[in-house]
């Protein structure tokens, strides 16, 4: 088993792996980094700048858990894009469970970077995903959409 703090941005899945998720998330400087990708589950960490956001997204076949490791955010969830039926502030140590097929957004409402860990079941991003910025993530998403 390994024990690491996201020191080299390596996706350790699907091998057994032990890490301190809070420290891994806090040390992550990328918008999105895959920590572990297995066949049925994926762990990512994210860094969202002050006043930044993930942006509304939906995962039709993937449940998601997002846990705040540092900072304060507002989570917005709804059945339609940009229409939040559920909205709540969350802070360090709190998590939100997001059912598949639900539009959601996480907005950093703090003065410092928001650090979160995110679990997808099943995996949502390609193994080894690293998006240094939100723009990188959006470009890759557009490329994936153009394939279909």
pLDDT of res. 71: 98
Q: Taking 90 as the threshold, does the pLDDT of residue 139 lie above it?
A: no
Mention every residue, 6+ apart, whose C-beta is less than 8 A from residue 64.
Answer: 97, 98, 104, 118, 119, 120, 121, 124
Structural tokens at position 46? 């994210």
Percent helix, strand, coil in the chain, to 5, is 15, 40, 45
Encode pLDDT of 42-51 as tens digits: 999 999 999 9
pTM metric for this prediction: 0.87
Is the pLDDT higher at 8 or at 89?
A: 89
Q: Taking the CB of residue 37, how many other CB atoms lie within 10 A of it?
A: 22
How confident is the prediction for the chain on average, in pLDDT? Answer: 90
CB 4 within 8 A of CB 21: no
Nearest to 4 by CA among 39, 32, 35, 29: 35
Q: What is the 3-state secondary structure (H, E, C) of 48-73?
A: ECCCCECCCECCCCCEEEEEEEECEE
Q: Taking the CB of residue 53, how many other CB atoms lie within 10 A of it?
A: 17
Encode pLDDT of 66-111 as tens digits: 999 999 999 999 999 888 899 999 999 999 999 999 999 999 999 9
Encode pLDDT of 16-34 as tens digits: 999 999 999 999 999 999 9
Sign of CA dihedral 15, 68, 110, 55: positive
């Amino acid at each position: 088993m390994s024990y690491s703090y996201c020191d080299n941005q390596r996706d350790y899945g699907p091998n057994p792996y032990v890490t301190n998720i809070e420290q891994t998330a806090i040390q992550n400087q990328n918008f999105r980094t895959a920590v572990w990708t297995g066949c049925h589950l994926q762990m990512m960490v994210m860094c969202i700048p002050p006043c930044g956001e993930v942006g509304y997204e939906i995962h039709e076949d993937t449940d998601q858990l997002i846990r705040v490791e540092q900072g304060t955010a507002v989570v917005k969830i709804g059945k339609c894009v940009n229409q939040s039926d559920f909205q709540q502030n969350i802070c360090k140590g709190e998590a939100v469970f997001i059912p598949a097929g639900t539009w959601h957004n996480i907005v950093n409402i703090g003065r410092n970077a928001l650090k979160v860990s995110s679990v997808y079941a099943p995996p949502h991003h390609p193994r080894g995903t690293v998006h240094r910025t939100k723009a990188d993530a959006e470009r890759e998403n557009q490329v994936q959409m153009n394939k279909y």
